[in-house]
Amino acid sequence: MTETIKLSTLDVHFADFIVRIDRHPSSELWWGAALASHAAGRGHTCFNLFAGLDHTALPLSATPRKSPPSDIGLWLASLKTCDTVGAPGAYTPLVLDQGGRLYLHRCWGYEQQIATGILSRSRPLECDENRLDEALDRYFPPQGDTIDLQREAARMALMHRFSVISGGPGTGKTATVARILALLLDMSGDSIPEIALAAPTGKAALRLHQSILQATGRLDLPDTIRNGMPVGVSTIHRLLGAQGRSGGFRYNRDKRLSCDILVVDEASMVDLQLMASLMAALRDDARVILLGDRNQLASVEAGAVLADICDSAGQANVPVTQLTRSYRFGADSGIAALSQLINGGDSGAAAELLQSGSYPDVVWRQLPVGRAFDAAFSAAVRNGYAGYARAESPGEALAELGSFRVLSPLRSGPFGVENLNRLCLNVLAPERKIDARSFRLMPVMITGNNYELELFNGDTGVVMDHDGSPAVWFENPDGGLRHISALRLPPGEAACALTVHKSQGSEFDRVLLVLPDHLSGALSRELLYTAVTRARQHIEIWGTEEVLCQAVERRTVRNSGLGERLAAGGQRC
């Protein structure tokens, strides 16, 4: 499928720079550099010359150029003569591999670092299989002839230093990893391993912390093992020791993390650069377990690392276990049925399910327009946030935020979160007595990273007075609350309504999803699946059948060489 390209100013300036420093400049080089830059900006790790390109693609009018080369063979031949383009491993600004993938050098380096980190940990470890089976029997008792995927995930995690446990919401990923950690502690003897738990955002870290505590509490463990279970959870940035304005991380390939076992939750949100930094900072003998849902949206930044790893599992020696049984949703769950149809790309069946009214936990509403939308949305917000509006303490307000949330695929426009947040605050202001100076009880989401305050993109707080002054209260990943003066707050925005991307790592009892009234490139199967699975008990979707079907039918594809690199055993390709 071809893609119409609209180059940015950055793409054009980068291409001009590459052509200027190369001794063999050409139109092919200019377009290669511009499209590699463009690809990185769109979430791809590389530009694939063989993937197809709409030749109506044009750069900015201020920099007239020919159309992109139409003969791929001549394009490749021309690039190979350039000083700024090298084969994998070369120290050149651009890297061209044998599959026709053209990388910015940093993206190629990140991909190589990840592949090396995974493959070096994927070889089976020597172990006493009888002892292993006995240990598995204690924590994952045999279930007759039924295949226990959680037990298989545990076996893979114990026999390899790298493994992945993927599954939708409620499939028991954290419950499984809690038992795996207990099992590892059980088998470690007198040498107690150091275990670290991490997630991409503060909200995801908090959920991981709560889930591990609940899962551990349900296990009958001796004190020696229970005392060894991890209690703290951090964001990946905090684990690596982010250096703030100076950039980089305290822990890297020259100064390694001390942990023996690392568990990373919500791995689908981890981008290429962050995963590479994590792999570089780990000791070579450290065990890594990734948890996540490979069907969710990929990271906002470049890469789809978890999906690439899962897709390559059949060809590469990478243990990936896909959990399929949901312990949260029963056979009569509309949320479960709808999410399965979305994953399968069956737009007709998904639309029929929504419009049938057969499931009480799934509601469809034809998108109102104009004043009718404002009136209907105001009523939904007043009802959905009723408990939040009555909150008298920061803890109560933060808990109520988990009960209901409005989601949208878009940021701008009448159905984007900017306008939806405005409508939400207009509706709730009289009931919550929002003060124009203090914005009391306003939900706020941090939109940048502040390492000094340990607040990161996606962290959500609520404004409430402390000693007579407005403060913003947040939940700590390891439990409890903390507050920061509103005057010191990093950049943030209202969080009554969230983009679906921003909702990743969170779950809510009830969700109202507002789809736009027009076809949009932001819509995809992964986005709709992510939105639907944010709901624990009930979801209501407002939209049109045409837009809904477009979202189900459109898959997000990110160009990458990671899967092929893993399948090839890390050979430079």
Evaluate if residue 216 carries a pLDDT over 80: yes
The reported pLDDT for the residue numbered 332 is: 86
In 385-537, alpha helices (H): 386-389, 394-401, 417-432, 500-503, 525-532
The reported pLDDT for the residue numbered 246 is: 65
Provide the pLDDT confidence category of residue 65 given band limits of 50, 70 and 90.
low
Provide the pLDDT confidence category of residue 389 given band limits of 50, 70 and 90.
confident
The reported pLDDT for the residue numbered 56 is: 41
Using CB atoms within 10 Å of the CB of residue 448, give its burial: 0 to 12 exposed, 13 to 18 middle, 19+ buried: exposed
Is the pLDDT higher at 466 or at 261?
261
The reported pLDDT for the residue numbered 328 is: 84
Evaluate if residue 66 carries a pLDDT over 70: no
What average pLDDT does range 250-269 have in this prediction? 94
The reported pLDDT for the residue numbered 337 is: 94
Specify the pairing of strand 469-475 against strand 460-466: antiparallel
Torsion of CA 559, 560, 561, 566, to 10 degrees: -130
The reported pLDDT for the residue numbered 437 is: 36
Evaluate if residue 141 carries a pLDDT over 90: no
Residue 121 φ then ψ, to 5°: -105, 0
Q: Check if the beta carbon of residue 389 is closer than 8 Å to that of residue 539.
A: no
Is the pLDDT higher at 464 or at 18?
18
The reported pLDDT for the residue numbered 368 is: 92
What average pLDDT does range 332-358 have in this prediction? 94
The reported pLDDT for the residue numbered 436 is: 38
Q: Check if the beta carbon of residue 499 is closer than 8 Å to that of residue 438.
A: no
pLDDT, tens only, 92-135: 999 999 999 999 999 999 999 999 999 999 888 888 888 888 88
Mean of pLDDT over the chain? 88
Least confident segment among 10-19, 350-359, 434-443:
434-443
Least confident segment among 281-285, 451-455, 554-558:
451-455
Three-state DSSP at 120 gives coil
Evaluate if residue 272 carries a pLDDT over 70: yes
How far is 468 from 234, CA to CA, in rounded Å? 31
Residue percentage of the chain with pLDDT more than 70: 92
pLDDT, tens only, 409-453: 999 999 999 999 989 988 876 544 444 334 567 888 988 778 778
How far is 432 from 357, CA to CA, in rounded Å? 34
The reported pLDDT for the residue numbered 52 is: 61
Spatial strand order of the sheet with 492-494 comes to 481-485, 469-475, 460-466, 443-446, 492-494
Contacts 24+ apart (CB under 8 A), 458-462: 458/200, 458/201, 458/202, 458/203, 458/204, 458/502, 458/505, 459/201, 459/202, 459/203, 460/203, 460/398, 460/401, 460/495, 460/506, 461/398, 461/492, 462/391, 462/394, 462/397, 462/398, 462/401
Provide the pLDDT confidence category of residue 265 given band limits of 50, 70 and 90.
very high
Provide the pLDDT confidence category of residue 202 given band limits of 50, 70 and 90.
confident
Torsion of CA 176, 182, 184, 190, to 10 degrees: 180
Evaluate if residue 54 carries a pLDDT over 60: no
Using CB atoms within 10 Å of the CB of residue 302, give its burial: 0 to 12 exposed, 13 to 18 middle, 19+ buried: buried
Evaluate if residue 4 carries a pLDDT over 70: no
Evaluate if residue 59 carries a pLDDT over 60: no
Evaluate if residue 357 carries a pLDDT over 50: yes
pLDDT, tens only, 164-189: 999 998 899 999 999 999 999 988 87
The reported pLDDT for the residue numbered 63 is: 47
Evaluate if residue 55 carries a pLDDT over 60: no
